Structures are given as structure tokens and as C-alpha cells.
Structure 1
Amino acid sequence: MGLSILDHKEQPVAHGRKRLSTGVRLHYYVAGSGPALLLQHGIPKTSYYWRKVVPLLSEHFTIVVPDLRGIGDSTHPDSGYDMATVADDIAELMSELGHDKFHIIGEDWGAAAAYQVAARYPSRVQSLVFQEMLLPGFGLEEWAQFNPQRPETHLWHVAFYHVRDVPELLITGREREYFTWFIKNEAYDPTSIDDDAIEEYIRSASQPGGLRSIFNIYRATEANMAANKKAAEKSLKMPVLAIGSRDFIGREVEKQMQKVAENVSYKELNYGHQLAEECPNELAKLYREFLQSH
């Protein structure tokens, strides 16, 4: 990647790639030692999103941080962008790396994928952190509609990206302008989004297949709605921590998890959607307290 990510000893993390049984090749990096902890990024971010959090956790955990299929330095298949398929990718990656059981933290679409991992592989997931996301089938589609009571969190892009071909037409060649605005707009403190992070997210979106893969995640909304409603028929038993941002989705993440899990706690931070960029120290403290108690 050409970008330095360090562990708690200020040593570079170890990067690798694994080709899965589906033919998808996932890029990932690992750091630290101890119980396995999987970190899953959202969209349009990459595994680089977690760089500020990794050194705050790697002393206590063996951290695995993948790029989801179609994102960053993972390959860009034609299909499989529904969260159940993404979850199967992640479970296979963890098996390949020798981790039968693990904790999982997901934010944004990484949280939607993390829920599916927990639902599909409940005996393997020791705990789940669900951060700043609305599950398709449980509110995401409603938040894509304008509501004057929450205009700042009108998730208009969910519907826009769902339209085939038009987002590619309008954004291709303007990735820098569009994603710089988009990512900073969702932050409470836009100055916390460093230039190197913006450059990495733009690089990912601008590569061949980059935009298509991002938008195909949103185009799988109907499949995700069906899969989530089916999965919710059986409540999650493992401990779940819902984390919300006061300036973005907030307490709705708790309501989301209470619909699908039995053992839910909630924490809120006074920032925006990009928590690992905006307040990594406070966020990592919440993670450690939750994970080390389970």
C-alpha cells in the first residue's frame, strides 16, 4: 500500500493476501498477539481506516484487518457484494489464518457484514461490536428518505448508489472532489480526516472496478434485507456492544441490535460517523473495556 501502519511497538504490521475458495483474493494485515480480533471497515474506506486504533489494541489482541471484497487491495469480482457472501469471505479468511474463534468489530458496512458473520457463524464469534450502521431491512432504507427531523443524517447516497450506471457516470474522474467532500461531511471534526487517509480512499475508489464494487454493495440491498430478516429469526447470544455517534446515527444503533441480539450494551461518543479517524483513543478505550470483559 505504501502507507505505514504501526503496532504498539511502532513496528510495521504484516501485510498479506489470501485466495479464497470462491477465487476472491483478500488483502489483509495482522499485528499483535493474544485473542483474535477482526476489524472491518466501512465504505468508501479501506483497511487503512483502522491505522490509528491498531497500535492501541495490538498489545492485547492478535488483530486481523482485511479489505472487504472489491475494496482497497482485495480483488474486484463481478458479484457477491451482499453481506452474507462478504461474511463467508471473512469467516474463510479467519480459518485460513488459523483463528477458529474471534471477536469482531465492524463499522458502517463493515458492521453490516459483521452482523452476518455473527449470525452465520455464532459458535465462532465471541463478541460483536456494531458501530454506526443501520441494517438493511431494519431501517437503512427508511433513512435513505428525507426526514426534516434528521436532515443532517439523510442517507441519500443509499438510494443514489443503488441506481445502476448513473453514479459511475457522474463520479468517474471526480473521485477526489466527491469522496473528499463525502467523507469529511460525515465527520463532526472534518480536520481529523488526514490527507493520507483521503488519498488512500481515493486510490481505492479510482482503480479499475473500484467504483463499481462500492456501488454494487448498495445494489445488493434487497438481498441484504432478506438475509437480515431471516437471520433475525434467531437472536444473537454473544455479547454485543453498539456504538453510536451523537452527531450521526447515535442511539439508533442500539435499537438495531436490540432487534437481533439478546445481550446488548450501548456507548455513545460526541463525534461524527468517522469515529476511528476522529477519536481513536476514546474509541479504543471502549473496545478494550468491552472485549477484555468478555
Structure 2
Amino acid sequence: MDEREWLAERFEEHRPRLRAVAYRMLGSLSEAEDAVQDAWLRASRADTDEVENLAGWLTTVVARVCLNMLRSRQSRREDPLEPTHEPGADGGREEGVDPEREALLADSVGVALLVVLDTLSPAERLAFVLHDMFAVPFDEIGPMLERSPAAARQLASRARRRVKGAAPAPDADLTLRRRVVDAFLAATRGGDFEALVSLLHPDVVLRADPSVVPTPEPLVILGAHTVAKGAMAATGRARFTGLALLDGAVGLAMAPRGRLALVLGFTITDGQITQIDVIADRERLREIEIAVLDG
């Protein structure tokens, strides 16, 4: 076996971890695959004879590729995809990407976490992902960012505070509210119309801003059956939606390919949903503090 074949075998052994690092850095399965492939091309051209810790070295290569991609994304001021364009929303497939696989991956990582990570600077995201998720020491993270280990630690700490967010709003029935919102998401994903109707107050009101649908004025939908029918049309999108804290209250965030598209806020009275606010306007979304819901 020559050196290139040996390296190729070792790279394939480490590919799952490298893909996991890239996905958490980028929030997109297709971009993560591109980053891992780029890392292989770089590794195949490098002299690895003196590399003692190949796994750590490859992680560094992938992290730097992802950092460059994040910085390029930021310099282009790239906006998240519109909610009607996420993979699989209409039964179609993004070229080279399996929507089901991406949805499962997003669900396993946590849609809310991907959303919060998307609000971090590239340096904060790298420091937090590598240290908190993959136990990479700050002595190794610092050089990737051209900063000291202490500075890298501060970046991760700042990111950690953003991920945790503000404490949930005081509510004696917070557990019930979470259960209701979780049931709403499960029923939407499963296309269970009757379950949705049972969660909605008969006079429920859904309000969606003009960025959600192409209308000059906010859309208002009244009644449990009408709102439930609308939710049924969003079953594909619900695969990229997860529970999150929105300004300390339990809600939902939708993030196709790891980019925040919209959020749903809920008003719940006596165990039933009485109002749903769907927000996709970029300025309004920036004003909402989104955090990961523990547990």
C-alpha cells in the first residue's frame, strides 16, 4: 500500500467526525460535504509524514476550510433562504442532497442550536463548536483564529452565553406550554389533522407578517380548522423546525439548511393555542433573542 492509499483509508475512518464538525460549523449538509472534500484535497497534497495526531490535524484542516466559508458567507451578507425554498418543502430535492437525511441530521443536532450558531461570528462559532462539542483544546483553537488561547476561550464563552440565552420567562405552567408546542410540531410533521385541531382553540387566530407570504398586509387566519389546514400544507417545512426559546418563551424556529427563515410564537390559554404569530421579517427576527431550550 502506497502513502496516498494509506492516507485515503485513514481519511475515510475519520470522515464521519469531520462531517460532523463541518455540519455544526456550516449548518448545511451540502456545504459540509463540500468542506470535507476540500479538506481531503488539501490533505492529499500535504506532507503528512511528520503528523503525529492525524485526527487532530484533519479536524484543524476542516475547521479552517469551514472558517473561510463562513467568512465568505458573511462578506456576501448572505440572507437565509426564503421559507418556501427549503429542501423538500414541495417534495423536490436539492441537487446532491437528500432532504430526509438533512432533516434527520438537523433534528439530531437541534434546529434551535443551528439557528443560534448562525447568529454567531465565524470566530465565535469555530471556538464554541470545536471546544464545547468536540473537546478541542484552546491551545489548538487559538492558532486557527490567529489569536491567543485566552482570546479563543473568551470567544467560546461569549458564544455559550448566546446559546443559553436569557432565562425562560417565569411561568408556573411552562412545562405544559412546552408540551403543547411540542405536540403542535409533532402533529404538523406527522400530518395529523385531528391532533392539530384538538390543540387549537376553536377561535384561534394566526397572524403572519408579509415576509411569510407575498401579501401587502399581514395575513390573518381565523378558526381551528382553517389554521390546521394551513399547518398541513407546511408538513415538509416542519422537518426543519424545532423547539426554541423566543425571548424566553417556548416557540418554534424554522431553519432550512441551518439558516433562520421564520419563527412561530404561541399564546396558550387553558392548554389550548389561542394565537400563533408567524414572523419572517428580517428586522423583526434580529430583535428576537433565540436560545436553545434545555432538556
Q: Tell me if TM exceeds 0.5.
A: no
Please state which band the TM-score falls in when normalised by the shorter chain.
Answer: under 0.3
Q: Give the number of the structure whose alpha-carbon radius of gyration is greater.
A: 2
Higher helix share: 2
TM-score by length of 2: 0.28
TM-score by length of 1: 0.28
